[in-house]
Amino acid sequence: MIRTWWPVAVTVIAAIAWLIRLEARGISNGTEIKRLWSQRREDMEAAKESRDRMDRRLDEIASDIKTLLRGMGK
């Protein structure tokens, strides 16, 4: 009986091992996706801070240009 069923048993064991590996990879991918979302959020915040800083700098430059132009008109 063992001689006739051993290929089936090996196949079942191999399938179970494959499923365990697949589940582990799924868990690993889920963790990586969470890490990437966190990194994306941090990158978006950094980009917003950079844009805000640039907007303030441009406002300052525009103000300086207006002041210079007013001074030239006198």
Measured CA to CA, the distance from residue 49 to residue 52 in angstroms comes to: 5
Question: In this predicted structure, what is the pLDDT of residue 4?
Answer: 85
Question: In this predicted structure, what is the pLDDT of residue 74?
Answer: 63
Residues 6+ apart with CB under 8 A from 74: none
Which tens digits make up the pLDDT trace of 26-61? 999 999 999 999 999 999 999 999 999 999 999 999
Question: In this predicted structure, what is the pLDDT of residue 38?
Answer: 97
For the chain, give the mean pLDDT: 94
Return the percentage of the chain with pLDDT > 70, whole number.
99
Closest of 35, 55, 56 to residue 43, by C-alpha: 35
Task: Name residue 59's amino acid.
Answer: D
Q: In which region does residue 9 sit, left (phi positive, over 0), alpha (psi from -120 to 50) or beta (all else)? A: alpha
